[in-house]
Amino acid sequence: MNKAALATALGSPAAFGQSQFAFMRGNAFEARVKADGGTELMRLLYERMGAGAGCEPPVPGGTLLPDLAAAGPEGRAARTALALRGATAAGAWTLLDHPMLALEVAGSPAYLEPDAVVVHPDGQWSVVEIKSFPMIDDSADAAKVGAAARQAAVYVLALERVAAKVPGARVGHSVLLVCPKDFSNLPAASVVDVRKQRAVTRRQLERLTRLEDLAAALPEGTTFDVERPAEELAAAVESVDAAYAPECLAACELAFHCREKARAAGAVEALGRGVRGELGGLTTIGEVLAAAEGAAGDPADPAVAALRRAAALRAEALADARAGERTLC
């Protein structure tokens, strides 16, 4: 489902995403990096990755730029696979601009679009990610680089599915990250090793429950069709277990909806995963308060004992503060 459309239909639209200005700036930077038949991009790639492989440098204007246009994502993925095969057989520097890759996720095909993939003359395929966050003195925000590495690792996995059927092809486990240099509009590049992210993502994909099994667990007739009335949609979403945590706010379009539900239910998850872990068997804020006040909970439970100790310290501090106020008066 389109979770952003679902969140809007539920009355809790997602409030994150790139601003229009940042989006346009990102597009303009990417166009600049790929201008002139990818001359600058290929220069950066050769400088950072190509020279060690013993390939001749790409000649300005000499890089092949296959046409990847086709109808629908399936058609574009097939066209990309064909272009990758052709480029590998030709043994020439080739730049695939916004190729389309397919990857099976939970038993269903998902379509992915990297910024670019470069085929080296020796048969190596390299993923290129172009980001608009700055690279200052050759280093960028570690969290943003980590997110880009996780994203690129998924592209590497999808490319490996294609490469397995192409003689002489191999997918590089290092990707080229291109960012603006020191807040300017000039590109800077660095090589990011995504082996770890690739291994983690592969394990996660292998463990995912198949979509058919997830769908089979839903009540008969459940639909997330955003054209349905909001109450019906809310009931459909309610039929799926959610484990809201504040971390969802940065990653999921349904975060505001799930936060509202979690708060209404008094769920301790709304306070954060760390707090949830500390509270052990206490799952609602009501239970936590009752345990702290001594009205419920097993005193032998370490979480209950800690809460009571904290409540006693708080009461003591408040009593001291009140006594202090009286003395001043």
User: Which residues contribute to the site for ligand SF4 (CB under 6 A)?
Assistant: 242-244, 248, 252, 254-255, 258
Smallest gap from residue 260 Cβ to ligand SF4 (A): 10
Q: Among residues 154 and 270, whose Cβ is nearest to ligand SF4?
A: 270
Q: Among residues 242 and 271, whose Cβ is nearest to ligand SF4?
A: 242
Nearest to 6 by CA among 248, 230, 283: 230
Cα–Cα dist 119/194, whole Å:
18
Smallest gap from residue 237 Cβ to ligand SF4 (A): 8
Smallest gap from residue 191 Cβ to ligand SF4 (A): 32
Residue 116 near residue 97 (C-beta atoms within 8 A): yes
64, 65, 68, 69 alpha-carbon torsion, rounded to 10°:
-140
Q: Among residues 29 and 256, whose Cβ is nearest to ligand SF4?
A: 256
Half-sphere exposure of 142 (CA within 13 A, CB side): 0
Classify burial at 143, counting beta carbons within 10 Å of its beta carbon; exposed 0-12, middle 13-18, buried 19 or more: exposed
Q: Among residues 75 and 272, whose Cβ is nearest to ligand SF4?
A: 272
Nearest to 151 by CA among 189, 103, 81: 103
Smallest gap from residue 67 Cβ to ligand SF4 (A): 38
Cα–Cα dist 8/14, whole Å:
7
Cα–Cα dist 212/134, whole Å:
42
Q: Among residues 72 and 277, whose Cβ is nearest to ligand SF4?
A: 277
Smallest gap from residue 226 Cβ to ligand SF4 (A): 15
Q: How far is CA 179 from CA 16, 76, 137, 221, 288, in A?
A: 22, 27, 12, 47, 47
Tell me the three-class secondary structure of 196-256, residue by residue: HHHHHHHHHHHHCCCHHHHHHCCCCCCCCCCCCCHHHHHHHHHCCCCCCCHHHHHCCCCHH
Nearest to 114 by CA among 72, 71, 68: 68
Q: Among residues 148 and 248, whose Cβ is nearest to ligand SF4?
A: 248
Q: Among residues 78 and 249, whose Cβ is nearest to ligand SF4?
A: 249
Q: Among residues 226 and 305, whose Cβ is nearest to ligand SF4?
A: 226
Smallest gap from residue 228 Cβ to ligand SF4 (A): 18
Classify burial at 169, counting beta carbons within 10 Å of its beta carbon; exposed 0-12, middle 13-18, buried 19 or more: buried
Q: Among residues 194 and 252, whose Cβ is nearest to ligand SF4?
A: 252
Cα–Cα dist 252/266, whole Å:
21
Smallest gap from residue 214 Cβ to ligand SF4 (A): 13
Smallest gap from residue 16 Cβ to ligand SF4 (A): 11
Smallest gap from residue 106 Cβ to ligand SF4 (A): 15
